[in-house]
Structure 1
Amino acid sequence: MRRKKGKASSERSVGDCSGRAISVDLPLGVLEGGVRAQVAEDVKSTCSRHTAKIHRVPGVSIMASFPLLFPLLVGCVVAAIPPPHHRPPCHIAGTSAICRDLSLTGTPVDLPTGVQALDLSHNQLWNLSRDTLAGHTGLHQLDLHSNMIHFIQPGLLEAMCDLRVLDLSGNRLNLFAQAKNQIGTLAAVECLDLSSNGLYTGMSDFFLADTPSLMDLSLSSNSITKIAQNTFSGALALRRISLHNNVILEIEDGAFDSLDGLSELDMSKNSITCITDFNLSCLRVLNLSRNSLELFQSTKSAEPYHLAFLDLSRNKLPYFPLLPTNNAIQHLDLSRNRLQSVQVTDVAETKMSETLLKHLRYLDLSYNQLTDLQQSFFRSMMSLEVLNVSNNCVSMFSVTDQNLLLAAKIINLSYNSLQNLSLGEGTLQALEELFLQGNDLRTLAQETFQKLPSLNLLQLHGNNLQVCPSETKPDQNPPSCVLFSSLPKLKFLYLSQNNLKTLPCRAFANTPLKLLDLSLNHGMEMHQDSLGGLEHSLVQLLLRESNISHLNTDMSSLRSLKLVDLSTNHLTSLPAWKRDLSIETLNLQNNSLVTLERTTMAALERSLKTLYVGDNPLSCCGNLDLVRLLQHSAVVVADIEAATCVLHEGSEPVNIEKVTQEMCSGQKKANYIVIIVVTVFLVVIVLGLLVKFCKSRKGKYIRRFSA
C-alpha cells in the first residue's frame, strides 16, 4: 500500500489472466461513502475484462484474495444498479407551476423563483413546513388538494402575506385540529377550501379564528353537526359559505347574523328539520335541499329581503313555506316534498298578499302530492315564466282569467291525473311549451290549442285524444276530437300512444310542424293525404310500433323530410317513391320486409346517410340494389350486425355486407340446373306415358284385326 502525496488513496492489486498485478487506485471514501460515478464506470470496464479469470491467478487462493477483490466487487455492484427514476418536471406557465399527481413529498427544489401559483394537489405530502415548500413563501395561490397533510408548521401560513387562495381539501386536518394547533392568522386569504378533511363540530375554529379577508369558505363533506354562534366570528368578511354534505342538526340563533356581506349559503344534504324566524335579509342564494325540513318560516317583517334563489327540494315539507313578505325571490324549488296544498302553514294568519311572489320567474312543485291548483294561487305571480307541476295528483287545470300567468312560457303538467284542461279566451298568450304527457285526457274543447298563439311545443304522449279533420266545421266533428290545424307557431307535436284510430286528411294543415310523433298508436289508419300541408316544414316523422302493415301516405311530397322512423311494424313493402327524396335517416328495423323496390332505392340513394334495416327477413338476391347501395356508397348501416338476409328459403342468414354478385349468380345457375333437370324429368315421364299409351292402343288394334 502506498499513499500519493496530497491525496489519500488505497491501492489494491488484482491479478489478471496473465498473473500480472493490476493496480487500482480507489479513494478512501469508496469504502466509507460509496463509489463515485467516475470510479464506478472505470471499475465496471475493468470487471468486464478481468473478473472472469480471477480465480486462475496462480498461487493465490480465493479466501486469500478476498480483501483485494472486495473493492472491485463493490464497484461492480454499484455500476450494475440502474440510475434512479426521474419524475417528470412540473409544468411551468408564466408564474404558475403545476406539479399535480407526481408522487411528491415536497416542493421540487428546481422550481424557479418568483412562482406565484403552485399546484401540489394529488401528491403524497404529509407535513406542511418551510422545507416542504422549499422557501416559496411569496405565493398568491396554493393548491394542496388530495394529499395526506395532518400537520402544518406553526406560523408558516401566517408568514405568507400575499396568499389569497388556499386549497387544503381532501387531507387529514382533523388530526391537526385534534392536537388543538392554531393555524395562525391568514391575513390575506380570500378563498379557503377545507372540505373533505374529517372535521367535526368546533374544529373549524382552529382555521377561522383570524381570517379578516376571507370571502369564500368551503366546509363541505365533513362531519359537522352544529353551527355555533361564534363559528364565523373570526371571518366577518364572508360572502359565500358551503356546508354541503355534513350532518348539521342544529343552527344556533345568530350564527350568521354578524355576516353582513353574506350572499350565498349552501347547507344542502344535511339533517336540518326546521327553519324558524329566517331573517338573513342580505342573503341572495340559499340552498337547503336534501335535508329533513318539515317547516320553513320567515320573520314577520316589512324589511326588504334580497333572497332571489331558494332551493327547498328533497325535504319533507307538507305546506308551502312562509316566505318574507317583501321578498325578491325569482327561483323557488319545492320539488320532491310532501306538499298536499299550496297554502302556507296557517292560512288565517298568513294569507299571501297580492305582491308576495311578484318577482318569481321559476317555480318547481314537481313530485309532490298536490291534488288541486286554485287560480288564486297564481294571482301574484306576474313574472312567472316556468311552472313545473309534473308528477302530482292534479285532476283539473284551469286558467280563465286573462290577467293570470301573463309571462308564462313553459308549463309542465305531465304525469298527473288530468281529465280536464280549461283555457279561457286570451289566456296564456306567451306560452311556448306545454307538457301534458302521461295524463288521462280524453275530451277537450276542439279549439283548446288554437287559443295558444305562441305555442311551439306540445307534448301529449300517453293520453286518449283523437284528431279532428281540419276542413270540416267544428259542429260536424266528433265530440271527442281536437284540432291541430292552424297553430301558427307549433313546430314539435308528440301524439304517441293516444290510441289514435284514424289520421284524417290534412290533419295538420297550416301548422308548420318540424317534428311529428305518431308512434305507439296501434291500428291507426292514415289517409293518403294525412300529412298534406306539411310539404315544406316536416323534418322528422316518427311512426314506430304502430302495427302498420301498409304505408299508403305519400312521403315523396315532403320535401324537407330528413328522418323517418318506421321501426317495429309489420311492413312488407315500401311505397314506390318515384322522385328523389331528402331523407337522410331511415329506420326500418324489425319489420317484415323481404324486398325493397328498385325505384325506392333509387329515390333514396341521393340523400340517404344512415339506415337501420336489421331484423327483417330480407332476400339477398332479391335486394341487389340495396346490397350495392350499402357496399358502394357512403350510407352507414347503424345496426349492421343485425342486418342479415337469406340466399334461399331454409338457408342460414348472411350478413348483408358479405353478400356478393357471385353468390346470387351461382344461385341462379343452380336454379337453372334444377329447372332443366325437373323439365327433362317431366318430359321423360310424359314421353313414357305416351309410349305406353301408344303400345296399348296398338295391341288393341291387332287383336281386333285377328278376330
Structure 2
Amino acid sequence: MDTIEERSTNSNKSNKISLLRLGIDHLVSEDDEIINIQCGRIGKIENLYKCKNLRALILISNHIEKIENLSELRSLNILELYQNSIRKIEDLDELINLEVLDLSFNKIQKVENLDNLKNLRKLFLSSNRINIIEGLDNNTKLTLLELGGNRIRHIGNIEHLIQLEELWLGRNKITNFESLPNLVKLKSLSLQSNRLSEWALSFQHKCCNLKELYLSHNKLPSPPIGYFKNFKQLHTLDLAANEISNLEEISNITSLEELWLNDNCIDSLDQIELLKKLKNMKTLYIERNPLQLNLGPAYRMKILEILPWISQLDALSINSNIYLTSD
C-alpha cells in the first residue's frame, strides 16, 4: 500500500500538464500568415524563425511564461498572448509593424519595453497586476488602451495619446478622474467598478466628443446641473449601481439612446417624467431602485405609460403589438 507521501507525489505527477511544443507538436510552415492556437498546451514561443510572412500570432490560453524568439517576425501586425503566465513585457523591439498587442490575463506588473512599437494601434493589458500607467511615451498612434482589472489608482501619463478613441479603466482602484486629460478624439470611456464618489468638475469641459460613458458600480451622486451640456454626441450612459436619486441633468442629454440607471436611489415617478425629453432613447435599465418596490406589480406598465417609445425596459424587449400587463 502506498504511503501518504507516495500518494501525494503520484497525485502531483498526474495533475502535471503535459506541454506541447510549437513547431513540433503544433506544426508551422514558412508560408503561414496566421498562426492561431488556443488551449494548445504550449509552454514556449519557439521555432518561428522561418515564418517570415507571419502577420498574426495568436496563442491564447496556453502556458507561456515568457515573450521570446520573436525578433525574426518583422511582418507581424497582431500578437495575442491572452491568458498565459507572462510576467514581463519584453523582446518586442524588432516588431516595428505591430499594430495590435493583447497581453490580457497574465501576471504583468509593469508597462515597459514598448518604445519601438510606434505603429501600435491597440493595446490590451486587462487583468494583470499593473499599478501605474506608464511606458507609453512612443506609442502615440494608439487608438485603444485597455487597462481594466488592474491595480491602478491614478489616471496619468496619457495626455500625449491624442489619437485615443477608446480608454478602458474599469475594475481598478481609481478614486477620482480630475487628472483625465482632454482627449478630443475619445469616443468610449470606461471607469466602471472603481472608487469614484464625486463628479470631476474639470471633466465637463474635456472629452466632449464622447459617445459612450461607463461609470457603473461606483458611489457617484446625482450629476450637477449643466454637467453634460457639452456632450452633444453621447448616446450611451451607464450609471448603474451608484447613488443617484435626481435625473434632472441626465434628462438634458437629448442625444441618449441607451441609459442604465438600475440599482440607484430613484424613488419617484416624477423622476421618470423628467426623461420624457429623451425622445431618442431606446433602452432604459431602471430596475432595483426604490421606485420598483414602491410601484409593485404596476412598475413596468407605469414606466411605459410615461416613455411609450422605448424598445427595451430592463431586460425586457418591448413589442408594441403586445399589451403589457402588470407582473
Q: Which bracket does the TM-score occupy, shorter chain normalised?
A: 0.7 to 0.9
- Give the CA deviation at 1:640: 7.9
- Alpha-carbon contact 1:341-1:371 (below 8 Å) kept: yes
- Alpha-carbon contact 2:228-2:249 (below 8 Å) kept: no
- Equivalent residues in 2 for 1:158-177, closer than 5 Å: none
Aligned to 1:558: 231
- Paired residues, number: 294
Q: State the AA in 1 paired with 2:35.
A: L
- Equivalent residues in 2 for 1:234-313, closer than 5 Å: none
Residues 634 and 444 of structure 1, relative CA distance in 2, 3 Å threshold: closer
Distance 1:324 1:565 in 2: 46
Residues 410 and 577 of structure 1, relative CA distance in 2, 3 Å threshold: closer
Distance 2:259 2:64 in 1: 43
Q: Is residue 381 from structure 1 mapped to residue 78 from structure 2 by the alignment? A: no
Distance 1:504 1:432 in 2: 26
- Equivalent residues in 2 for 1:442-521, closer than 5 Å: 442-445=131-134, 448-468=135-155, 482-504=156-178, 507-521=180-194
- Give the CA deviation at 1:515: 1.0
Aligned to 2:123: 434
Q: Is residue 393 from structure 1 mapped to residue 82 from structure 2 by the alignment? A: no
Q: Is residue 336 from structure 1 mapped to residue 25 from structure 2 by the alignment? A: no
Q: State the AA in 2 paired with 1:571.
A: I
Residues 396 and 569 of structure 1, relative CA distance in 2, 3 Å threshold: same
- Give the CA deviation at 1:627: 5.4
- Give the CA deviation at 1:508: 3.3
Instruction: Give the percent of matched residue pairs that are identical in Structure 1 and Structure 2.
Output: 22
Identify which of structures 1 and 2 has the higher relative contact order when contacts are C-alpha pairs closer than 8 Å and 6+ apart: 2
- Equivalent residues in 2 for 1:584-599, closer than 5 Å: 584-595=257-268
Alignment equivalent of 1:411, drawn from 92, 97, 101: 101
Q: State the AA in 2 paired with 1:494.
A: W
Q: Is residue 320 from structure 1 mapped to residue 8 from structure 2 by the alignment? A: no
Q: Is residue 634 from structure 1 mapped to residue 309 from structure 2 by the alignment? A: yes
- Alpha-carbon contact 1:430-1:454 (below 8 Å) kept: yes
- Give the CA deviation at 1:339: 2.7
- Alpha-carbon contact 2:147-2:169 (below 8 Å) kept: yes
Aligned to 1:360: 54
- Give the CA deviation at 1:510: 2.9
Distance 1:640 1:418 in 2: 37
**Per-residue CA distance 1:17-48 (angstroms, 9 max, x = gap):** xxxxxxxxxxxxxxxxxxxxxxxxxxxxxxxx
Aligned to 1:196: none
Aligned to 2:205: 532
- Give the CA deviation at 1:409: 1.6
Structure 1: which 5+ residue stretches go unaligned?
1-314, 345-351, 469-481, 621-625, 642-655, 659-707
- Alpha-carbon contact 2:234-2:255 (below 8 Å) kept: yes
Distance 2:246 2:211 in 1: 22
Q: State the AA in 2 paired with 1:540.
A: E
- Give the CA deviation at 1:632: 6.1
- Alpha-carbon contact 1:587-1:613 (below 8 Å) kept: yes
SS in 2 for 1:529: helix
Distance 1:421 1:577 in 2: 37
Q: State the AA in 1 paired with 2:136.
A: F
- Alpha-carbon contact 1:588-1:613 (below 8 Å) kept: yes
RMSD: 3.3
Structure 2: which 5+ residue stretches go unaligned?
1-16, 296-300, 317-323
- Alpha-carbon contact 1:575-1:600 (below 8 Å) kept: no
Give TM-score, length-normalised by structure 2: 0.77
Residues 325 and 585 of structure 1, relative CA distance in 2, 3 Å threshold: closer
Give TM-score, length-normalised by structure 1: 0.38
Residues 550 and 632 of structure 1, relative CA distance in 2, 3 Å threshold: closer
SS in 1 for 2:274: helix
Residues 412 and 326 of structure 1, relative CA distance in 2, 3 Å threshold: closer
- Give the CA deviation at 1:405: 1.1
SS in 1 for 2:90: strand
Q: Which has the larger radius of gyration?
A: 1
Distance 1:327 1:538 in 2: 44
SS in 1 for 2:89: strand
